[in-house]
Copies of this chain bind each other. A is one copy, B any other.
């Protein structure tokens, strides 16, 4: 069986989380080759009040996990954040989120398009969506934002990446 809401979420997250792992591998290799302290890259930011690279990865993971879970009508698993995650912790997080989203049965997404979803982007402000609108107009834009910004920070710091590294396997 197939479901449009499944197809527009889990396989897209799989593609881009895969590319995020490749971006991190190249970033780590660059740090090693140039004897750069890992945190000099993982804590790099494009502007002082933006999240650093490591946090961009974690937030991308949070959106993949949370969006897929809400569409499937299940509680997202709680994954506690390390204080200063290194490359190993970030890879573990991506793997855990990949395992979670890939473990969601397609059948759980049958009613996802019309499922009522409430988010709290700024407490106490609430926003209610149906699932299809939530995915297309909130979840995917947010998710892609943090994957792209991870790429942007790495590129800005000299990691040799090209668009195909961002695109992953499509």
CA distance A30 to B141 in the complex (A): 25
A 11-33 contacts with B by CB, 8 A: 11-12, 15-16
Q: Is A46 an interface residue (CB 8 A)?
A: yes
Nearest Cβ on chain B to A41's Cβ, whole angstroms:
14
Q: How far is the CA of A137 from the CA of B19 in the complex (A)?
A: 12
Question: Which chain A residues (100-135) contact chain B, with CB distance < 8 Å?
Answer: 132-133
Chain A interfacial residues counted at CB < 8 A: 31
For chain A, what secondary structure do more than half of its interface residues adopt (helix, strand, loop), or is it mixed? helix
Residues on B with beta carbons closer than 8 Å to the beta carbon of A141 = 12, 15-16, 144, 166-167, 170
A residues engaging B (CB < 8 A)?
A: 4, 7-8, 11-12, 15-16, 46-47, 50, 132-133, 136-138, 140-142, 144-145, 148-149, 151-152, 155-156, 158, 163, 166-167, 170
- 3 tightest CB-CB pairs across the interface, nearest first? A144-B144, A148-B148, A137-B170
